[in-house]
A and B are shown apart, each in its own frame.
Chain A
Amino acid sequence: MPKILDVKNLSVHFASPQGHTQAVDRVSFHLDQGETLGIVGESGSGKSVTALSIMRLLPSPPAGISSEAITLYPRDGGSKEIEISTLGESEMQRLRGAEIAMIFQEPMTSLNPVFRCGDQVTEAIRLHQKVDAEAARKQTLLLFEKVRLPDPERIFRSYPHQISGGQKQRVMIAMAMSCKPGILIADEPTTALDVTVQKAILDLMRELKEESGLSMLFISHDLGVISDICDRVLVMYQGKIVEEGPVQKILRNPEHPYTRGLVACRPSLKHKWHRMPTVSDFLDNSRHEAQVVSADETEQRRKSLYDSDPLLQVKDMLVRFPAEKNWLGRPVKWLNAVDRVSFDVFQGETFGLAGESGCGKTTLGKAIARLTDMDSGQIIYNGTALHDLSIEAFKPYRRDIQVVFQDPYSSLNPRMAIGRAIMEPMQVHKRFDSDKQRREKAVELLETVGLQADQFQRYPHEFSGGQRQRICIARALALEPRFLVCDEIVSALDVSVQATVLNLLADLQEKYGLTYLFISHDLSVIKQMCDRLLVMNKGKVEAVGYPEDIFRNPEREYVRELIAAIPGKE
């Protein structure tokens, strides 16, 4: 196959008052016509920066881009090559969208909120093709049909906030395809989406590619997704390409230690590990053989877990939100976020709560911690009916039931040193008599979650996502809770970091006998972590039981779809 894009020795650095960061370091690769090339790596590895610098979308300064050559070859076998790195801004502008199009990670923020979806697509068409408004409109509607948007006319008129995340990404794809580009760069296009939506989008992209002979550069941190869609893959680590080759070869026979770690640290659907393998195990070559939990061990654990009475019983929980209000502001229609859900959680257990966004799993977790009100139902914790307690009487139970939230970036106060943040709940609940003791406890907790005592005075922005999530866990542990609600706590983290946080949770459970309500949209993580799981859909229970039963033999169609949508299953 002839090449369509050739990148030679691309380097990107960022200059800041603090110094000089080399984001991409002499990267060379090529893209063949009709090929899908994956770039995989963790956040900060330089994969997005590489893509953005091909499109010249990086603000410069602070970015400094240099390359020997970035050459775009003509699609139709003509001889006119374009050297992108020497193009002027106005020539570059004509190239963007027409020859190379791009879709981005966040469909929620990638569309302009104040313009209608249709107008945002026609704008690109009219710009590059010089057609009139009516022709552009017709083309757009056709494209919407092609990306399988329901009711194209309605989507055309809708503003981005009126359609779902998956639909927004379809609009983005339609926009990118509108001028029939030769190359499509997709920067984590499905990371922010639910698994089933992700699968549909991947299917669509594959189809569009085959239909139009498009070449794709597909960026993702998720090897599973990459293996589903790509022909060839580049592995990037610290700004360099460390390995390159056909996807199947890389997955089966990774050579570089980083790649080996990346392949190994994904939660497996086949078996449960004692400890998740992590990337650092491979990088410093101190790898212990990852041990699989045997059937006997599982049996034994279950015996000891389910011997006693449940620690938490939820009965017929109903939480609803007003969906429509009349002119007096009185709700006339309700949306049942949690629709009469019942389950038990036992002491020391990890109980998984799975489902897609909007299924009510977060609301359920919040209702248990009483961060949102229940309309009816019962919550019985350790024999006490929590739902009957006044706010004042509930207070002691707040110590027992703690929550760790999804986004480690926004759940820490940026102006509070992390040590203070860990001490704060102890002060509120008057745990210990003096701040000195609380400080000692906070330091101890920092060390427990794998941070250092001398980081006590640091502020959240100085930490990475994984470290921040550790801080949040330490803060939750400050009150010595027995029950921890973990709401999507690894969703915002890279796969490689995810494994280390999951290992930490397992260690803490062993050490303190904690009980987890583990909420996640990622079934493979749930399967790795949980003793039992509950699958929710639209507020209702779809399945509840042991993971192996549900995975092997899903009764409901919805659960089957959910399992089928997990990327990268061999």
Chain B
Amino acid sequence: MAIYILRRLGYGLLVMLLVVTTISGIIFLAPVDPAQLTFGQRSDVSTVEAKTAELGLDQPLYMQLLHYLKDISPVSLEPDKADHLRKYRYHTLFRVGNEQLLVLKLPYLRESYQTGRPVSEILAEVIPATALLAFTALLLASLLGIFFGIVAALKAHSRWDQLISVISVFGYSLPSYVTAMLLALIFGYMLGAWTGLDIQGSLFVIDDFGDWQLRWQNLILPALALGLRPVALITQLTRSAMLDVLSQDYVRTATAKGIPARIVVVKHALRNALNPIVSAISGWFAALLTGAFFVENVFNFKGLGAATVTALLNFDIPVVLGCVLFTSVVFVVINLLADLLYAWLDPRVVMR
């Protein structure tokens, strides 16, 4: 088990390495000069050249990549110079030779070309809001989807089943930004006075006194908008998995030993039907954490999606890399968790 997890994390590292390499390769090919971008219109040749050297942009691509990898590695060998080590949050493990230190450090994601703020700070600002949004949306989607799926399976081929099918196909075909705009329009604007919801707004807002405030109500509409398609998908998956399981011999056995129908469905059948649902939910969760851009944009909700796209538009390479790196970490971790969950749900799954 421990070996399995370690090996999976090893593969995960490989995935992240590939992601970083590919993304940097693509970005560095783009015909822009980041050093120039940093200064905008105030640039003159000498400052730009100095900045280029400082950022290491005059070095060959593979050197730039290696430097970046060294920056994000939690363990690395660094020269013992104060102005070099200043940017890291580190802990010295031991000294290597006279001038080198082996340090344990937080991955250093560099600073934004645009604002000069550390990328980790930018991420820390947007991730909680997006994570909360994705989590709420998916919790909602799972509960509703599994419920509707079970109802549809139990009443298969009835009016209820058909109604649920039609609604879920409709829900699935609706792009999330359309849903988002509709929800904003109806509940934020037209019924705004009654619902008390705003058309737009972030989870964390600065109020008139300059303090950060948590606005829970701003979570409702984006979560609904994001959750609608997963609800539709999970409903359909649950329906077909449950139909399959309900015709299994062991469900008949459970009924034959006198277990009430409700318990047969929830305990004996649902647990066997959960695997495809878990894989859908985990995939979607990872995607929502990172790709909620459209919905975030509609509601002007400051999250990871918005941050990534802004950075892309500005060629703010460190921020882009930071966002992408975080995304890949999320995917690796969630996939691992999902696999562990499979094994917990179904003892026949062997982890090798």
Residues on A lying within 8 angstroms of B by beta carbon are 55, 57, 89-90, 93-98, 101-102, 104, 106, 109-115, 123-124, 127-128, 159, 161, 172, 175-176, 178-179, 325, 327, 329
Structural contact, B256 and A57, CB atoms closer than 8 A: yes
Structural contact, A57 and B346, CB atoms closer than 8 A: no
Instruction: Pick out which of these stretches binds chain A: B77-85, B179-187, B210-218, B246-254.
Output: B246-254
- CB-CB < 8 A to B272: which residues of A? 112-114
Structural contact, B261 and A159, CB atoms closer than 8 A: no
Structural contact, B258 and A127, CB atoms closer than 8 A: yes
User: With A93-B258, A93-B259, A93-B260 known to touch, is A109 a contact of B348 (CB < 8 Å)?
Assistant: no
Structural contact, A94 and B253, CB atoms closer than 8 A: no
User: With A57-B252, A93-B260, A96-B256 known to touch, is A112 a contact of B268 (CB < 8 Å)?
Assistant: yes
**Chain A-chain B contacts (Cβ-Cβ < 8 Å), number:** 77
In the complex, B257 has a CB within 8 A of chain A: yes
Contact with A along B230-274 (1 / 0, CB 8 A): 000000000000000000111011111111110000001001100
21 contacts between A and B (CB under 8 A): A89-B261, A93-B258, A96-B255, A96-B257, A97-B258, A97-B259, A101-B256, A101-B257, A102-B256, A104-B249, A104-B256, A106-B249, A109-B248, A110-B250, A111-B250, A111-B253, A112-B268, A113-B272, A124-B259, A159-B348, A175-B253
- CB-CB < 8 A to A113: which residues of B? 250, 272, 346-348
Q: How far is the CB of A103 from chain B (nearest CB, A)?
A: 9
Complex Cα distance, B348 from A178, in Å, reads 26
Q: How far is the CB of B258 from chain A (nearest CB, A)?
A: 3
Complex Cα distance, B257 from A322, in Å, reads 39
Complex Cα distance, B248 from A16, in Å, reads 20
Task: Please give me the residue from chain A that is nearest to B7 by CB atom.
Answer: A327
Contact with A along B92-120 (1 / 0, CB 8 A): 00000000000000000000000000000
Complex Cα distance, B316 from A204, in Å, reads 76
Structural contact, A161 and B347, CB atoms closer than 8 A: yes
Complex Cα distance, B257 from A94, in Å, reads 9
Complex Cα distance, B264 from A96, in Å, reads 14
In the complex, B42 has a CB within 8 A of chain A: no
Complex Cα distance, B259 from A179, in Å, reads 13
In the complex, B352 has a CB within 8 A of chain A: yes
Complex Cα distance, B249 from A513, in Å, reads 44
B218-234 contacts to A (CB < 8 Å): none
In the complex, B334 has a CB within 8 A of chain A: no
User: With A90-B260, A96-B258 known to touch, is A172 a contact of B253 (CB < 8 Å)?
Assistant: yes
Q: How far is the CB of B254 from chain A (nearest CB, A)?
A: 7
Structural contact, B258 and A110, CB atoms closer than 8 A: no
Candidates A102, A127, A178; contact of B259 at CB < 8 Å: A127
Candidates B3, B250, B257; contact of A97 at CB < 8 Å: B257
Contact with A along B27-39 (1 / 0, CB 8 A): 0000000000000
Complex Cα distance, B352 from A112, in Å, reads 24
The CB with the most chain B CB atoms within 10 A, among A106, A123, A179, is that of A123
Structural contact, A104 and B253, CB atoms closer than 8 A: yes
Structural contact, B253 and A114, CB atoms closer than 8 A: no
Complex Cα distance, B250 from A110, in Å, reads 4
Nearest first, the 9 closest Cβ-Cβ pairs linking A and B are A97-B258, A97-B257, A96-B258, A109-B249, A124-B257, A112-B250, A159-B347, A110-B249, A102-B256
- CB-CB < 8 A to A325: which residues of B? 352
Complex Cα distance, B345 from A172, in Å, reads 22
- CB-CB < 8 A to A96: which residues of B? 255-258
The CB with the most chain B CB atoms within 10 A, among A96, A114, A124, A159, is that of A114
Q: How far is the CB of B46 from chain A (nearest CB, A)?
A: 57
Complex Cα distance, B125 from A187, in Å, reads 64
Q: How far is the CB of B161 from chain A (nearest CB, A)?
A: 14
Complex Cα distance, B57 from A503, in Å, reads 83
Q: How far is the CB of A165 from chain B (nearest CB, A)?
A: 13
Task: Please give me the residue from chain B that is nearest to A95 by CB atom.
Answer: B258
- CB-CB < 8 A to B248: which residues of A? 109
- CB-CB < 8 A to B271: which residues of A? 114
- CB-CB < 8 A to B252: which residues of A? 57, 104, 110
Task: Please give me the residue from chain A that is nearest to B259 by CB atom.
Answer: A127
User: With A104-B249, A111-B250, A327-B3 known to touch, is A128 a contact of B268 (CB < 8 Å)?
Assistant: no
- CB-CB < 8 A to B347: which residues of A? 113-114, 159, 161
Candidates A111, A114, A123; contact of B345 at CB < 8 Å: A114
Task: Please give me the residue from chain A that is nearest to B3 by CB atom.
Answer: A327
Complex Cα distance, B257 from A176, in Å, reads 7
- CB-CB < 8 A to A95: which residues of B? 258
Q: How far is the CB of B309 from chain A (nearest CB, A)?
A: 42
Complex Cα distance, B257 from A128, in Å, reads 9
- CB-CB < 8 A to B256: which residues of A? 55, 57, 96-97, 101-102, 104
Task: Please give me the residue from chain A that is nearest to B258 by CB atom.
Answer: A97
User: With A55-B256, A124-B257, A327-B3 known to touch, is A161 a contact of B348 (CB < 8 Å)?
Assistant: yes
Complex Cα distance, B258 from A179, in Å, reads 10
Complex Cα distance, B254 from A90, in Å, reads 15
Q: What 5 additional pairs, Cβ within 8 angstroms, besides A93-B259, A102-B256, A123-B257?
A: A93-B255, A93-B261, A97-B257, A112-B268, A113-B346
Q: How far is the CB of A558 from chain B (nearest CB, A)?
A: 31
B58-77 contacts to A (CB < 8 Å): none
Q: How far is the CB of A566 from chain B (nearest CB, A)?
A: 27
B318-352 contacts to A (CB < 8 Å): 345-348, 352
Complex Cα distance, B250 from A395, in Å, reads 44
- CB-CB < 8 A to A115: which residues of B? 268
- CB-CB < 8 A to A124: which residues of B? 257-259
Structural contact, A128 and B258, CB atoms closer than 8 A: yes
Complex Cα distance, B346 from A113, in Å, reads 7
Task: Please give me the residue from chain A that is nearest to B254 by CB atom.
Answer: A112
